[in-house]
């Protein structure tokens, strides 16, 4: 299960490392869109866009479904949450370390004061 999450993190972060794919996620965050709507803001050829969509689907950041001739894409926010969760965990570790350092400095300052008093400073 941990390996599964690790693999999904590989895919999600890889998917998000490209500005076109981030722009697509950004667009889909505001609601579903057809492939042709998604293509509009970009000058790239359709095969390139479809390749980006495939990478996004593989990462499970988006999913798509076809009705007649129209393929509609939509966000899957759970994949975003996995990435957010990982980043928040690292920040948590970092902040815990800063708190420990603060506590340590406060202890040292306390000792310093006591030492100062004992020596009449």
Burial grade of 22 (CB within 10 A; 0-12, 13-18, 19 or more): middle
Q: Provide, rounded to whole angstroms, the least separation between the CB of residue 96 and a copy of itself.
A: 8
Q: Provide, rounded to whole angstroms, the least separation between the CB of residue 68 and a copy of itself.
A: 24
Site for a copy of itself in 22-51 (CB under 8 A): 22, 25-26, 29-31
Buried b (16+ CB within 10 A) or exposed e, 68-94: eeeeebebeeebbebbeebeeeeeeee
Asked if 84 is part of the footprint of a copy of itself (rule: CB under 8 A), the reply reads: yes
Asked if 88 is part of the footprint of a copy of itself (rule: CB under 8 A), the reply reads: yes
Asked if 105 is part of the footprint of a copy of itself (rule: CB under 8 A), the reply reads: no
Count residues near a copy of itself (CB under 8 A).
Answer: 30
> In this structure, what token pair is assigned to residue 28?
């889909």
Residue 106: other Cβ atoms inside 10 A: 10
Asked if 58 is part of the footprint of a copy of itself (rule: CB under 8 A), the reply reads: no
Q: Provide, rounded to whole angstroms, the least separation between the CB of residue 44 and a copy of itself.
A: 16
For a copy of itself, which is the closer residue by CB, 16 or 53?
16
| Positive or negative: CA dihedral 67, 73, 77, 83 | positive
């Amino acid at each position: 299960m941990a390996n599964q999450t690790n693999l999904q993190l590989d895919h999600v972060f890889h998917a998000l490392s490209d500005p076109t794919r981030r722009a697509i996620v950004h667009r889909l965050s505001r609601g579903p869109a057809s492939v042709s709507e998604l293509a509009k803001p970009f000058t790239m050829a359709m095969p390139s866009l479809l390749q980006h969509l495939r990478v996004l689907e593989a990462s499970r950041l988006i999913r798509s479904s076809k009705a007649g001739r129209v393929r509609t894409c939509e966000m899957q926010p759970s994949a975003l949450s996995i990435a957010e969760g990982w980043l928040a965990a690292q920040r948590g570790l970092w902040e815990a370390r800063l708190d420990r350092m603060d506590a340590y400095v406060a202890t040292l300052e306390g000792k310093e004061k006591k030492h100062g008093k004992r020596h009449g400073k």
